[in-house]
Amino acid sequence: MAVYDRKLYPIDIVDLSEDLLDPLSRAFSRWWEGGVDVLLGLACIKEAFRQRCLSAGADMACRIAMLKADRRMVGFCLSVPQPKMNQSSALVTHALALRHLKWRIWTSPRLWRYVNRFLVRRIKARFFGRGGKEQMSAFAAQDGLLDGKTEYVAQLIVDADYRFGNIGFDLMLDMEEQARRRSARRVCGLVNRNNIRAQRVYAAVGWKRTSPGDTNHDHFMMHKDLEVLPE
Ligand SMILES: CC(C)(COP(=O)(O)OP(=O)(O)OC[C@H]1O[C@@H](n2cnc3c(N)ncnc32)[C@H](O)[C@@H]1OP(=O)(O)O)[C@@H](O)C(=O)NCCC(=O)NCCS
C-alpha cells in the first residue's frame, strides 16, 4: 500500500492541438529536466511535437492531462499506434536530434556529457550485451502481434508537483481506451529497471513484464493484452 496520502486531482484529458503546442513544450522542458530532448532546446521540442503529433505524417498520439479547475497542464502520455520493431522512446527523431545537436553542442557542456554517456551505453550494449533496451522483437517472437495491433507508450510524465495522486494512472487508462478505439489488441512500453514508481503505476493498470527472466537490459518491456470489446 502507498505510504503517502494519495491526492485526487479532477482532470480532463485532451488531444495535443496547435494552441497547446507552445505551453506543452515549455512544460515538458520543466518536467523532463536533463532529458536529451530538453538539452536539445525548446525549438527542437516544439518541432518534434509538431512533426510527430500534428503534421500530416504524424505517427504519435499525445494526450494531455489538464486540471478542471484552471486548465493547468499537469502531465501527458505519448504513444505510437504503429510502432516499428526497433521503436525508440524518443519524441525527437535521430534526424531532428542531429540537426539541432550540431548547433547546440558548442554551447552546452551538459549535451557533451550526455552524448558521451550515450556512446558508452551503446558500446556496452553492443559489445558486452549489458544494459541497453529490450526490443519489440520480444513480441514478434511470441505471437507476431506486431502488425498494427500493438500500441507503444513512448512517454508518460506528470508534473512533479502533482504526482502521487491519480494523474499517471488516469493517463494510462485513457491511453488504453484510445488504443482500443484504434483497434489495438495490446499496449506496451519500456521502463527503466530502477523506475519503481512507473512500474507500480503500469502494474496498477494491469501491465506485466514481457520477459520476466530478463536481467540484461537497463530498460525492460512491459505490456497488457486488451480484451476485444463486444461490438
Ligand atoms: C511515473 C509517473 C508518471 C507516475 O505518475 P503519478 O501521477 O505520480 O502516479 P499516480 O499518481 O497515478 O499513481 C500513484 C499511486 O496511486 C495509484 N493509483 C492512482 N490512481 C488510482 C486508482 N484510480 N485506483 C487505484 N490506484 C490508483 C497508483 O497505482 C500508484 O500507486 P502506488 O503509489 O501504490 O504505486 C510519475 O512519477 C512521473 O512523471 N515520473 C517521471 C517520468 C517517468 O518516470 N515516466 C515513466 C517513464 S517509463
What spatial distance separates the first Cα and last Cα of the chain, rounded to whole Å? Answer: 37
> Is 103's pLDDT higher than 70?
yes
Give the chain's domain count.
1
H-assigned helices in the chain: 18-31, 36-39, 42-49, 94-104, 109-128, 137-143, 167-181, 196-204
The better pLDDT of the pair 90, 59 is held by 59
**72 domain residue, yes or no:** yes
**Confidence band (pLDDT; 50, 70, 90) for 13?**
very high
**2 domain residue, yes or no:** no
For residue 26, the model assigns a pLDDT of 95
> 77: Cβ below 6 Å to ligand 1?
no
The pLDDT tens digits of the residues spanning 104-147 come to: 888 888 888 888 888 887 787 777 766 677 777 666 555 555 56
Name the residue range of residue 43's domain. 11-225
- Asked if residues 175 and 206 have their Cβ atoms less than 8 Å apart, the reply is no
**79 domain residue, yes or no:** yes
**206 domain residue, yes or no:** yes
Mean pLDDT of the chain, nearest integer: 87
**3 domain residue, yes or no:** no
**Confidence band (pLDDT; 50, 70, 90) for 52?**
very high
**231 domain residue, yes or no:** no
Torsion from C-alpha of 214, 219, 220, 226, nearest 10 degrees = 180
> Is 2's pLDDT higher than 70?
no
- Asked if residues 146 and 136 have their Cβ atoms less than 8 Å apart, the reply is yes
Pocket residue to mutate for ligand 1, from 28, 155, 163, most atoms within 8 A of Cβ: 163
Instruction: Return d(Cα 79, Cα 92) in angstroms, integer.
Output: 13
> 74: Cβ below 6 Å to ligand 1?
no
CATH number of the CATH domain containing 175: 3.40.630.30
**Residue 165 CA to ligand 1 centre (angstroms):** 7
> Is 3's pLDDT higher than 70?
no
**195 domain residue, yes or no:** yes
Q: Looking at the whole model, is its pTM more than 0.85?
A: yes
**Residue 164 CA to ligand 1 centre (angstroms):** 6
> Is 54's pLDDT higher than 60?
yes
Closest CA to 186 of 218, 140, 217: 140
